Amino acid sequence: MKNVLIVEDESIVALEIASYIKDIGFSVCGIASSALEAYEIVKNNIVDLILMDVLLKGDEDGITCAKNIKSSKNIPIIYISAFSDDETLNRAIETDPSSYLIKPFNRKELKVAMNIATKKSNSQLRVGDVILDDEFSFDRSSQELIMLGEVVHLTKQEKQLLSLLISSKNSVVSFYDIDNVIWPDKESNENTRRALVARLRLKLKYKFIETVHSIGYKINVL
């Protein structure tokens, strides 16, 4: 059974997460509300995975805490945060997290992210027919995004967008074509389109999707 450290400054939220992850087969080795408490638990326990909030009590936030832990221990980290601004996401990405979930998060997404983060071997894992890199693949028949053998939850529109981009991989898909496929009966809405792309980028850990200014998007794969 994998030991999970929950770093969360809201005690009710921490207890809810602890109860849920116990139900799905993980063990909670500690709950910390500050970076200092997290360091102490990591020092004195076997920790296989850390669920890390960004906003913590004390002088250090969750991203700084994660960076310091990773400097000495190779423990996978999943961020669970209400913050999704570019500055916070870019700082988080620099710590190479296993995933970044936005509150309120989907429990199924958390389960998948935890299973992915604690995988020891990539052998005999499910792989889609389109290989994006050594971490991600895509199954065109089911329109499923697969990360290290686990299916990543995508909404219907996220599946449509990813499938469209992959069908024209390494080539630009115009804004017009995206709008026509995903919103065929509605007027195009730039903000809605951008929000959809942003959500998909987050689930792809900010890999692959390139913005082609004033034209569209393309997905860059080998």
Q: CATH number for the domain including 82?
A: 3.40.50.2300
pLDDT at 125: 67
Q: Are residues 84 and 176 in the same domain?
A: no
* CATH number (domain holding residue 146): 1.10.10.10
Among 117, 139, 161, where does a domain finish? 117
100 and 17 inside one domain: yes
**What is the reported pLDDT for 201?**
95
Domain membership flag for residue 62:
yes
Q: Do residues 28 and 104 both lie within one domain?
A: yes
Cα separation, 208 vs 132, in Å, equals 8
Is 125 contained in some domain?
Answer: no
What would the pLDDT profile of 126-149 be if each residue is shown by its tens digit? 788 898 987 899 998 899 999 888
Q: Is the pTM of this model over 0.75?
A: no
Average pLDDT, the chain: 91
pLDDT exceeds 70 at position 62: yes
Residue 124 belongs to a domain: no
| Residue 44 neighbours by CB distance under 10 Å | 10
Top-confidence residue, 101 or 108: 101
Look up the domain containing 165 and give its range.
Answer: 130-219
pLDDT digits (tens, 9 = 90+) for 84-104: 888 999 899 999 898 899 888
Residue 217 CB coordination number (10 Å): 22
Tell me, what DSSP letter sits at residue 105?
P
Residue 61 in any domain: the answer is yes
**Percentage of the chain with pLDDT > 70?**
97
Structural domains in the chain (count): 2
Residue 141 and residue 100 share a domain: no
